């Protein structure tokens, strides 16, 4: 039960202030930026919109394939529209500053420092940008922050609730940020060493959820895939002769979520001269990446150093959406905090906290997740889980700086100065005008979908589905087109245009030889 006196306390109203301030800032961004109602074609928002449709209709690109998407967020898209998901994300994102405050209070016992780091999270520009989209990023961050908070409570409290809920939240986060799994495993090991009972309570929901996902993958293709079928291609994207540390488009593979899975399989099968299971496709790309690493280890080590620089640099490498373009539309975001600020103070705090064993769970998260990013590639949203340890280290820095004498303050200022030079070192960055190439297509798609909803005539509906499919074929979105054409033929089996385009789209997805 919640203490009624606490609900009347200043702290409760402080938490409400943090929540509603974050909510207002995100809602203003949502209103000012005014992105089209329908997701931009071939972005991840669009990808998950169609994944939701695939699940709803049990379309074979879902039912006969392993998960090549986040299972949780895919099913959410099957229930809610993109507009509703954006509202849900605004709400979830607004709870993260509240979590940051509670976490800071638990770690430092200093309300002022906790309030500062909570505000930094609430006004972090990249969080605000992603919290107003229909992408999975926000839900992943939500589960990581609250899961870690409950994990800290599990360490310090003797209640069954906390290890179970933390395990559940953190496995959910790992289904969104799959490279969070090593961190999750380290948390289990740490907890079971401290208290076997707590460790077992923590791991039970993890095993249950992972078993469900793995079993579903096995029943779909009779192959063992723990979570996702795109780990191999992502590893190659980050470790090949062409990569520069961020994302790059592999030759003959479309730069989309569908392209990574289906084109990745096509290229692998063509090279091997036979049909491959998902695990074999993953192995093909993994071996290809390892061959490059072994053949030129010096170049690969230099690449890893470059990735390390990019991981903590102030510049957010765009992925689906460009923060700087959004900032041009919403001038309020110019008063927000950037990732680089957290990097400078967080890395400085890390230096002073690294030997303190009480921060070991934070160190595990920070070091292991950084390694997983380095093993793949760096983009703005892939590094976002690092915000959590960085704000904790920032809090440690501020807490320590406030208590030391004047002579020792220079010791704290020096790393801030040095990290500022590195973190704010300029990179070759360009603002991507996301409206220029995609907005017109987005409005066309929206117009067609509204016509489909309004009409009852099956022949006309079939024609409209075909019209939308043509837009996606122009953009090489063959999976979306295949689904739309399937709908068109269901309504009108005599639609000859849809038949021809269906065969073409199917060929583009599946023909390897």
Q: Is residue 2 part of a domain?
A: no
Contact 133, 155 (CB under 8 A): no
According to DSSP, the residues that pair with 319 across neighbouring strands are 321
Kindly state whether residues 247 and 380 are assigned to the same domain.
no
Contact 167, 203 (CB under 8 A): yes
Instruction: Examine the fold and report which residue of 377, 404, 423 is the final residue of a domain before the chain moves on.
Output: 423
Question: Averaged over 186-199, what is the pLDDT?
Answer: 97
Q: Does the pLDDT value for residue 173 go beyond 90?
A: yes
Q: Is residue 4 part of a domain?
A: no
Kindly state whether residues 166 and 209 are assigned to the same domain.
yes
Phi, psi of 109 (to 5 degrees): 70, 20
> What is the per-residue pLDDT across 244-292, written as a single tens digit (0 to 9) for each?
899 989 999 999 999 999 999 999 999 999 999 999 999 999 999 999 9
Residue with tokens 């320590």: 400
Quick one: which H or E segment has residue 209?
helix 196-221
Kindly state whether residues 262 and 344 are assigned to the same domain.
no
Question: Averaged over 497-504, what is the pLDDT?
Answer: 98
Q: Is residue 113 part of a domain?
A: yes
Kindly state whether residues 117 and 262 are assigned to the same domain.
no
Per the model's pLDDT, the better-predicted residue between 433 and 327 turns out to be 327
Burial (0-12, 13-18, 19+ Cβ within 10 Å), 2: exposed
Kindly state whether residues 63 and 138 are assigned to the same domain.
yes
Instruction: Examine the fold and report which residue of 255, 282, 308 is the final residue of a domain before the chain moves on.
Output: 308
Q: Cα(498)–Cα(13) distance, rounded to whole angstroms?
A: 58
Kindly state whether residues 279 and 320 are assigned to the same domain.
no
Q: Is residue 428 part of a domain?
A: no
Kindly state whether residues 31 and 108 are assigned to the same domain.
yes
Kindly state whether residues 96 and 112 are assigned to the same domain.
yes
Quick one: which H or E segment has residue 122?
helix 111-122
The mean predicted confidence, pLDDT, of the chain is 93
Q: Is residue 173 part of a domain?
A: yes
> What is the per-residue pLDDT across 225-252, written as a single tens digit (0 to 9) for each?
999 999 999 999 999 998 989 998 999 9
Kindly state whether residues 287 and 415 are assigned to the same domain.
no
Query: How many distinct structural domains can be found in the chain?
Result: 3
Question: Averaged over 36-44, what is the pLDDT?
Answer: 87
Phi, psi of 321 (to 5 degrees): -145, 140
Q: Cα(371)–Cα(348) distance, rounded to whole angstroms?
A: 19
- Supply the pLDDT for residue 448: 95
Residues in the chain: 513
Render the burial of 297-308: b for 16+ CB within 10 Å, e for the rest.
Answer: eeebeebbebbe
Kindly state whether residues 115 and 164 are assigned to the same domain.
yes
CATH number of the domain that 502 lies in? Answer: 1.25.40
Kindly state whether residues 465 and 496 are assigned to the same domain.
yes
Band (430; pLDDT cuts 50, 70, 90): low
Kindly state whether residues 303 and 320 are assigned to the same domain.
no
Q: Does the pLDDT value for residue 431 go beyond 60?
A: no
Alpha-carbon distance values, 195 to 1, 192, 217, 363, 469 (Å): 26, 5, 33, 19, 56
Task: Identify the DSSP state of 249.
Answer: P
Burial (0-12, 13-18, 19+ Cβ within 10 Å), 513: exposed
Per the model's pLDDT, the better-predicted residue between 68 and 407 turns out to be 68
Instruction: Examine the fold and report which residue of 423, 456, 474 is the final residue of a domain before the chain moves on.
Output: 423
Host domain of residue 14: 10-224+314-423
Q: Cα(44)–Cα(51) distance, rounded to whole angstroms?
A: 10
- Supply the pLDDT for residue 364: 98
Task: Identify the DSSP state of 475.
Answer: T
């Amino acid at each position: 039960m919640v203490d009624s006196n606490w609900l009347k306390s200043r702290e409760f109203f402080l938490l409400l202030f943090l929540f509603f301030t974050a909510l207002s800032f995100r809602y203003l961004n949502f209103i000012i930026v005014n992105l089209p109602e329908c997701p931009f074609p071939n972005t991840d928002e669009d990808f998950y919109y169609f994944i939701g449709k695939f699940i709803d209709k049990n379309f074979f690109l879902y039912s006969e394939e392993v998960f090549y998407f986040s299972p949780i967020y895919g099913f959410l898209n099957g229930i809610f529209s993109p507009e509703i998901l954006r509202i849900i994300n605004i709400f979830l994102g607004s709870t993260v500053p509240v979590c940051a405050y509670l976490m800071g209070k638990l770690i430092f016992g200093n309300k002022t420092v906790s309030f500062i780091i909570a505000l930094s999270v609430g006004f972090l520009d990249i969080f605000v940008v992603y919290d107003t989209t229909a992408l999975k990023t926000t839900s992943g961050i939500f589960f990581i922050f609250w899961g870690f908070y409950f994990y800290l409570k599990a360490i310090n409290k003797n209640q069954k609730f906390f290890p179970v809920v933390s395990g559940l939240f953190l496995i959910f986060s790992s289904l969104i940020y799959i490279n969070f799994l090593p961190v999750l495993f380290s948390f289990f090991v740490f907890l079971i060493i401290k208290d076997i009972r707590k460790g077992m309570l923590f791991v039970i929901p993890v095993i249950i959820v992972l078993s469900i996902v793995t079993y579903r993958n096995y029943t779909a293709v009779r192959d063992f895939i723990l979570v996702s079928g795109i780990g191999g291609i992502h590893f190659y994207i980050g470790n090949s002769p062409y990569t520069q540390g961020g994302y790059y488009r592999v030759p003959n593979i479309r730069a989309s979520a569908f392209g990574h899975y289906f084109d990745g399989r096509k290229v692998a099968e063509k090279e091997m001269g036979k049909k491959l299971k998902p695990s074999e496709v993953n192995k093909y790309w993994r071996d290809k990446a390892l061959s490059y690493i072994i053949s030129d280890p010096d170049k690969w080590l230099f690449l890893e150093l470059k990735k390390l620089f990019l991981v903590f640099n102030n510049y957010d490498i765009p992925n689906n959406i460009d923060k700087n373009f959004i900032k041009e539309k919403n001038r309020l975001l110019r008063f927000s905090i950037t990732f680089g600020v957290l990097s400078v103070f967080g890395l400085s705090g890390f230096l002073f906290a690294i030997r303190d064993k009480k921060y070991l769970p934070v160190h595990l998260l920070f070091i292991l997740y950084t390694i997983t990013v380095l093993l793949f590639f760096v983009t703005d949203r892939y590094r976002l889980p690092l915000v959590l340890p960085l704000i904790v280290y920032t809090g440690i820095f501020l807490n320590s700086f406030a208590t030391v004498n004047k002579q020792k303050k220079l010791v704290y200022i020096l790393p801030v100065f040095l990290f500022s030079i590195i973190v704010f070192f300029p990179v070759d960055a360009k603002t991507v005008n996301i409206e220029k190439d995609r907005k017109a297509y987005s409005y066309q798609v929206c117009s067609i979908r509204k016509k489909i909803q309004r009409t009852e005539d099956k022949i006309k509906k079939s024609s409209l589905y075909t019209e939308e499919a043509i837009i996606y074929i122009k953009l090489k979105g063959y999976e979306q087109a295949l689904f739309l054409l399937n709908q068109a033929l269901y309504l009108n089996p005599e639609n000859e245009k849809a038949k021809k385009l269906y065969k073409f789209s199917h060929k583009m997805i599946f023909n390897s030889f």
